[in-house]
Amino acid sequence: MMPEASSHFVIPQPPVVSVPVAGTLERFPVRRVYCVGRNYADHAREMGHDPDREPPFFFTKAAQCLVTDGGVFPYPTISKDVHHEVELVVALKAGAANVDPADALALVYGYAVGIDFTRRDMQAQAKAKGHPWEMSKSFDHAAAIGALAPVDQIGHPASGRIWFEIDGDLRQDGQLDQMIWSVPEVLSHLSHMVTLAPGDLIYTGTPAGVSAVERGNKLVGRIDGVGSVETTVV
C-alpha cells in the first residue's frame, strides 16, 4: 500500500501561505514576494536619491512574512525605527520570462493594498556598509496585505489615490500614476531577471511620507478602486 503523500516529509509540511480574495471564500496561494525599490519620485527624494528613471531594482521578502486577514503586526526585534510603506500589490495567475510590457497585464490575477514594513535603521546601516537589505526587509511579519481584488472585478488600476493613516492621521498620500515604472514595465523588467510564476506577488513601491510606527498604532492603507489593508502594531 502506498503511504500517504504527507508521510514523505520528514517533518510536518509548512502551511501554504495564502491571501483572501475579496467577496469570496477562496484564497490565493503565494509563491514568491518581490518588491520594487524607489518607484515614486517624491519617495526617492525623501530617501536622499535622484529620482531619474534608472532601471527599477528589486528585493524579496519570504512569503512566510505575510500578515493577512487583518492580523496584527508584532513590532520586530532589534530595530528601533520601523517604517510603513503603503503599496499597490500585483498578484500573478500566470508565469513568463522576458515578457514584453504589452503582454504583461495578461499575467495578472488581481491587486491588493499592502504594507512593506522596513527596519529603517538596519537598512541605513546595510546601505552604508554595502551589506544586503535582507534583514531590514524580510523579517517576521514584514509584509501586510489586504484582500485581493480580481481583475475581472476591478480591471487594471493605473491611476487613483493611494494613502496611509496611523490612528486616523494621514501620513502618505499619493497617486498610482506617480509611479516611475508602471505595472507592465515593472513586470517586464522583473521577468528579465527571474521567471515569473503563478502565485507571485509584486509590491510596486511607495509614495512619500514614510514614517515610524509604534506599538498600539492602528494602521490603515487604502487605494481607490482596489481596497484596503489594516493592522495594529503590538
The contact set with Mn ion (CB under 5 A) reads 85, 116, 206
Q: Which is nearer to Mn ion, 116 or 165 (CB)?
A: 116
Rounded to an integer, what distance in angstroms lies between the CA atom of residue 30 and that of residue 17? 6
Q: Are residues 162 and 86 in contact, defined by beta-carbon separation less than 8 angstroms?
A: yes
CA–CA separation, 170 vs 168, rounded Å?
A: 6
Neighbours of 204 (CB within 10 A): 25
**48 phi and psi, to 5 degrees?**
85, 25
Residue that has been written with the C-alpha cell 490565493 in this structure: 28
Residue (93 or 121) nearer to Mn ion, CB = 121
Residue closest to Mn ion (Cβ): 116
DSSP SS3 for 149: strand
- Closest contact distance (angstroms) between CB of 115 and Mn ion is 9
| Lookup: cell for 212 | 515610524
For residue 109, the cross-strand partners are none
Using the minimum distance from each CB to Mn ion, give the nearer residue, 21 or 229.
229
CB of 35 or CB of 149, closer to Mn ion:
35
Q: How far is the CB of 87 from Mn ion (least distance, A)?
A: 6
User: Which residue intervals of the chain are DSSP H helices?
Assistant: 41-46, 101-104, 120-129, 134-137, 151-154, 183-191
CB of 4 to Mn ion, least distance (A): 41
The smaller minimum CB distance to Mn ion, of residues 85 and 165, is found at 85
- In angstroms, what is the minimal distance from the CB of 35 to Mn ion? 5
Least distance from Mn ion to the Cβ atom of residue 206, Å: 5
CB of 216 to Mn ion, least distance (A): 23
CA pair distance 192, 186, nearest whole angstrom: 10
Q: Taking the CA atoms of the chain, what radius of gyration do you get in angstroms? A: 18
Cβ closest to Mn ion, residue 184 vs residue 221: 221
8 A C-beta contact, residue 65 and residue 140: yes
